[in-house]
Amino acid sequence: MRILKPVLVILAVLLLGGALARTVFSTQIGEAVFRAAVKKNVGRNALAGAPDGLTVVLVGTGSPLADPGRVGPMTVVAAGNRVFIVDAGAGSGRRFGELGLPWGGVEAAFLTHFHSDHIDGLGEVMLQHWAAGGADTPLALYGPAGVERVAAGFNEAYALDATYRIAHHGTDYIFPSGNGAEAITFASDGGAVRVYERDGLTVTAVPVDHSPIEPAVAYRFDYKGRSVTISGDTVKNQALIDLARNTDVLVHEALNPEMVGEIRDQLKDKGAARVSKIMNDILNYHTTPVEAAEAASEAGAHLLVFNHIVPAQPSRLLYPAFMKGTKQAFDGPILMGEDGMAFELPAGSDKIIRKRLD
């Protein structure tokens, strides 16, 4: 026993020393990994190497339904070094930063309609445009009638926050004149209308059918012979098809009715009649994947990409079921949109270069 006690003490010291060494070593590894991540990611511009032309980034491809891999809807279109945002769903402002997109390049944002899931990330977008982007003028916020109410509401909601940031950081770094958003309203009930035209970029809007939600519009961006069309929320719509004629990329919302119907029925069986009714109601004002493929075919689009995906698709194993029948409706390439997916459309070319921003 006298011999055993010292041995136990020595073993305890060795074990504690090993644990201490592991702790120190783990700390050093963590610090090194953190420094490397900061060096790689802080201040980077994911668009810096893009060719002149259009670059399309799916920042958020989700919907109001929870999806672990997708934030709310946002599509970014860059024309040269000018960056434009279409819609701002929940979490999309943070995802914009995670993808290394440049707040300092943001020139304007466009809203397709005012459903909560398309605007509930707008406060973060306004804030980052101002604080991270160093803006000295408010965010130009384009939309159909009603956008002025949306802008005014977010401006008021963030008014106190703005005073805190100015007081904390000072007016040499946070310019008071750049706070908030300034609404730019356009008519949306008379067919196609050019809502933006500057330095070779044209943005055209058309009314789409998301009834009873009115107004609702789709947008097309044209720059140096390249184009992208973004549907917003709608049923299959002839005005959208006409807008998308020969577009390089058609970013189209999609709802799979069989999958939503399964969710609806399960909710009803479990006694959740109210939510089951809501799931049933959403079936009548969205486009099915097959209908979106038909629209792409009729428009002569070169690439169809699904976004605003309903219901959630947490695994790629679900994609074939979601897109069932689409290949029979459109013989061009079809992609299931994912956050961080990007497409470069170089000027003077018909190439569509697929990338991922991570």
Per-domain residue ranges for the chain? 1-42, 46-356
pLDDT tens-digit readout, 115-140? 999 999 999 999 999 999 999 999 99
pLDDT tens-digit readout, 12-56? 555 556 666 667 678 888 888 888 878 888 878 899 989 999 999
- Is the pLDDT at 9 greater than 70, yes or no? no
The alpha-carbon radius of gyration of the chain (Å, integer) is 24
Helix axes 257-269, 273-281, angle to 10 degrees: 170
What is the value of pTM for the model shown? 0.92
Which residue spans within the chain are E strands per DSSP? 53-60, 74-79, 82-86, 106-110, 139-143, 181-185, 193-198, 201-207, 217-223, 226-230, 249-255, 304-310, 334-336, 341-346, 353-356
pLDDT tens-digit readout, 255-290? 999 999 999 999 999 999 999 999 999 999 999 999
**241-257: average pLDDT:** 98
CA distance 293 to 236: 10
The pLDDT score that the predictor gives to residue 44 is: 86
Q: Is 117 part of the annotated catalytic residue set?
A: yes
The pLDDT score that the predictor gives to residue 16 is: 59
Which superfamily is assigned to 46-356 in CATH? Ribonuclease Z/Hydroxyacylglutathione hydrolase-like (3.60.15.10)
Question: Which of the following is catalytic: 67, 87, 117, 233?
Answer: 117
Residue pair 72/122 in contact by the 8 Å Cβ criterion? no
> Which of 55, 115, 107 shows the shortest CA–CA distance to 88?
115
**303-330: average pLDDT:** 97
The pLDDT score that the predictor gives to residue 20 is: 64
Q: Is 145 exposed, middle or buried (0-12, 13-18, 19+ CB in 10 A)?
A: middle
Mean pLDDT (the chain, rounded): 93
Q: Is 60 exposed, middle or buried (0-12, 13-18, 19+ CB in 10 A)?
A: buried
The pLDDT score that the predictor gives to residue 29 is: 83
